[in-house]
Chain A
Amino acid sequence: MTDAARPEPTEPAPGAHLVTEAERDELRRHGILLTKLEEIVNLGRSKSVWPLQFGLACCAIEMIAASMARFDIARFGSEVFRPSPRQADLLIVSGTVTKKMAPQVVRLWNQMPEPKYCIAMGACAISGGPFKQGYNVLKGIDRFIPVDVYIPGCPPRPEALLHGLLQLQEQIRTQKSSGPNVARHLRPGDRCDYAVPEFGERDLEPPANPAVWQAPSIVRNEKA
């Protein structure tokens, strides 16, 4: 995932910095919208994120509640829950991922086309939550797939899901189409095949994907 294939342009783009923000605002006041292609594309993409219709546990009920009349996720352009991963942009991991389920979640993620995003909804999807002492509970879905937004709560309220969705939209709006901070799906090394764990005799093989997640080394001062 290096950026060696795309060297950073040394010269600024022609015409860049010719128009200041103040002048852009002035133009907008006159009804002329001056923007970048990247921004307008990102704006469009962020307002029509289609989630995968994929419920795991308790949080899925709140996800359904968020799409119903009172909370109405349609206000934010995400009411189109797609049953097939091939048509979805967003994987909402809504609930406890058990070790028996983890390979299937990774497989679904692999089947989704880029650009795709992942929301870990609820304590269980983040870290195992209240069930993290369970022998069959995966301690966080980010051990296998990259997560864009974490929504804490057990379960998070529908409003929290909407807030998480807005955070994701903010991330999408600021994604770069070139340069060193180019979005993940535009990097040349990024392929869509995250390793699917196998069922082992005691645990998943491997228990975490080292390309995605590595245990941070924490040094603690033990009290003498």
Chain B
Amino acid sequence: MSGVEPMFPSPSSGAHVNAVHDPFHGDLLEVSMGPHHPSTHGVFRMMVTLDGETIVKLKPVFGYLHRNHEKLGENTSYLGSMPYTDRLDYLNSMTNNWAYALAVEKLAGQPVPERAEYLRVILAELTRLLNHVCLAGFLLQDTGASGTPLMYAFREREKILDLFESLSGSRMMCNYQRFGGCRVDASPEWLAGAQTITNNFGRFLDEYEELITGNEIMMARTQGVGALTPELAISAGITGPMLRATGVNYDLRKVDAYGVYSRFDFRVPLGDHGDTYDRYMIRILEMRESIKILQQALPALPAGPIMDPKAKIRGFRPKAGEAYGRIEGPKGEIGFYLISDGSPNPYRYRVRPPSLVNLTVLEDMCLGQTIADAVIILGSVDIVLGEVDR
């Protein structure tokens, strides 16, 4: 109908191999990995077709955690969806909250006081630390380093979760942001605790890197595995650390400069090869940049209200219209697209999930690799199924 030649055609199409005997490859083996598989980070399933140990076809199967987030969002009020966003990407509830609050604030033209903007930056960067350190732990778990790296990662994660808990009342599901500000204010003691964690995190990273980064097995397993070209990454809509590992300089904190990010001095680490090792290293470097942002934001936190005094909590009805708001989440661009028809519930509530879009190129990265590498490549994509399937 259109006759457009695809620049990056999908490597293969269709659900399953029809015949396991292929005249060119000989006997192929079709393996269903998941949805119960210890290394698929949840209930993700890959239909992998193997020639010996080499992958010749890989089809992801989604939907095992399709919790109808968008339908629920359309049946509840704007604020009623805020706790659900916690459960999208359940490692990073704070950034999900922020992305949703940002979209609604765009929809309603709602300003945010400066102190709340700073708090949002602080919490988002703490979330980024938390997410990246867990990713590194899980990735190492996938390479076979069972236990130790993940234990180290979770030790640090618990410290940050303690901060979140003392601020919002919940470890994981913070439900913290509101349209026009934040829910509770941070006390000076809390800020001191956040400062201590920030000061110590660099030392932890040094320790962690000493353990992992130069490790020979780690390098052998990840370097040159699952390489991605920048052209394909852009076309496939890859965002976040995975995109920057291919060398594309696109960080929404710089591009959109939402919130108060333009006031902080930080760099955007870029990779060179786009392989699994680069994706790991980008996250380590991003954590160091996050520490830098935290070191600037924590002392500069201005006094003032945390909620816009004109913000409406009850009876919130934005005018008819639509808005798309996006932020740089730890996994990539997380966006919310909202259509309002003037009623208390959104007419259309859509989550742009970074994890799902980042999986578009999973097959391209895995073709020609061995089945053991597919596990690591998937680990380096950094997916959370709550967000992939919603």
Contact = CB atoms under 8 A, between A and B. Distances in A.
Touch between chains A and B, by CB atoms below 8 Å: yes
Most chain A beta carbons < 10 A, residue from B42, B67, B68, B83: B67
A83 B386 CA distance: 21
A151 interface: no
B171 interface: yes
B38 A57 contact: no
A155 interface: yes
A27 interface: no
A64 B91 CA distance: 12
27 contacts: A53-B38, A56-B43, A57-B42, A57-B87, A57-B90, A58-B87, A58-B172, A60-B42, A61-B172, A62-B171, A65-B154, A65-B157, A68-B154, A68-B158, A83-B38, A95-B65, A96-B65, A96-B67, A98-B65, A104-B35, A133-B68, A135-B68, A135-B71, A136-B63, A136-B67, A136-B68, A155-B173
Given A57-B42, A98-B64, A154 B173 contact: yes
Contacts of A85: 36
B87 A130 contact: yes
B75 interface: yes
B219 interface: no
A55 interface: yes
Contact of A134 (B43, B72, B157): B72
B150 A68 contact: yes
Contacts of A56: 42-43, 65
Interface size class of A (residues with CB under 8 A): 20 to 34
A129 B109 CA distance: 33
Interface of A: 53-58, 60-62, 64-65, 68-70, 83, 85, 95-96, 98, 100-101, 104, 108, 130-131, 133-137, 154-155, 157
B301 to A, nearest CB: 29
Interface in B58-84: 63-68, 71-72, 75, 83-84
A104 B155 CA distance: 33
Given A53-B38, A83-B38, A134 B71 contact: yes
Interface of B: 35-36, 38, 42-43, 63-68, 71-72, 75, 83-84, 87, 90-91, 150-151, 154-155, 157-158, 171-173, 385-386, 389
A222 to B, nearest CB: 25
A206 B84 CA distance: 29
Kindly list the 6 A-B residue pairs having the minimum CB-CB distance in the complex, ordered from nearest: A134-B68, A58-B90, A68-B154, A83-B38, A101-B64, A131-B67
A54 B66 CA distance: 17
A101 B65 CA distance: 7
B158 A58 contact: no
Contacts of B83: 130
Given A57-B385, A100-B63, 4 more contacts: A58-B90, A64-B154, A69-B151, A98-B63
Nearest to A107: B36
A135 B84 CA distance: 16
B173 A98 contact: no
B210 to A, nearest CB: 19
Contacts of B172: 58, 61-62, 155
A63 to B, nearest CB: 12
B158 to A, nearest CB: 5
B173 A58 contact: yes
Contacts of B150: 64, 68
Contacts of B75: 133
A125 B389 CA distance: 17
A60 B157 CA distance: 15
Contact of A98 (B67, B84, B158): B67
Given A61-B172, A133-B75, A100 B38 contact: no
Nearest to A65: B154
Nearest to B76: A133
A39 B154 CA distance: 37
A76 B386 CA distance: 30
A104 B64 CA distance: 10
A72 to B, nearest CB: 10
B91 A61 contact: yes
A179 to B, nearest CB: 36
Contacts of B63: 98, 100, 136
B35 A61 contact: no
B25 to A, nearest CB: 29
Contacts of A130: 83-84, 87
A135 B145 CA distance: 39
